[in-house]
Structure 1
């Protein structure tokens, strides 16, 4: 549906993300190798880019920041975020509408 390989686990939905820190602007820019590509202007230092990615996901996917947490890849461009209180289908629908 949305091209992103979402996986349900016991605590929510795992959302694979390809991070692009140091970009010109913040936003979801597409899908890359089954991962949601998220660009942020923040530099990748001391977790600031991870916080910026959470903010972009919350804003663009109409989520609360408290619903999103980093599950793996804190220092890697290939990250996995956990989204709580949504099903795989609900999250896929929000991603698809965001991507247009």
Structure 2
């Protein structure tokens, strides 16, 4: 199961976000009715005026050691299911893919 894919020079990551959580974390996965895998994430920020989306980008940037400015919301602005674009990540896929897989495999 993978929640990400390479798209040109970038990497797209599918994330199911739980805002307003007691703690921030990446780990676990969720499978939708079509069989697509989504990495699970939790942030403390509330889903108001983009705060949860900004917190998700900051969480992922810190966890991947990637610049926040290189991560953008591709889709899912007001939905729990988000698609994030990590600009330039294809060149570092050998480092990033195992990290992402570790988080997806967490239960």
TM-score class, shorter-chain normalisation, is 0.7 to 0.9
Q: Which residue matches 1:41?
A: 44
The separation in 1 between residues aligned to 2:3 and 2:101, in whole angstroms, is 12
Retained in 2: the 8 A contact 1:4–1:31? no
Aligned match for 1:27, one of 15, 25, 28:
25
What is the RMSD of the two structures over their aligned residues, measured on CA atoms?
A: 1.8
Superposed CA offset, 1:38-85 (max 9, x none): 100111000000000001101112211012100001000001000112
Of structures 1 and 2, the larger Rg is shown by: 2
Q: Mark the runs of 5 or more structure 1 residues left unpaired by the alignment.
A: none
Q: Which residue matches 1:18?
A: 16
Q: Mark the runs of 5 or more structure 2 residues left unpaired by the alignment.
A: 32-36
The separation in 2 between residues aligned to 1:63 and 1:86, in whole angstroms, is 9
Retained in 2: the 8 A contact 1:69–1:83? yes
Which deviates more from structure 2 when the two are superposed, residues 6-15 or residues 51-60?
A: 6-15
Retained in 1: the 8 A contact 2:9–2:89? no
Superposed CA offset, 1:7-40 (max 9, x none): 2223511100000001001110322111111100
Q: Which residue matches 2:34?
A: none
Using the size of structure 2 for normalisation, the TM-score is: 0.80
Retained in 1: the 8 A contact 2:57–2:71? yes
Q: How many residues align?
A: 98
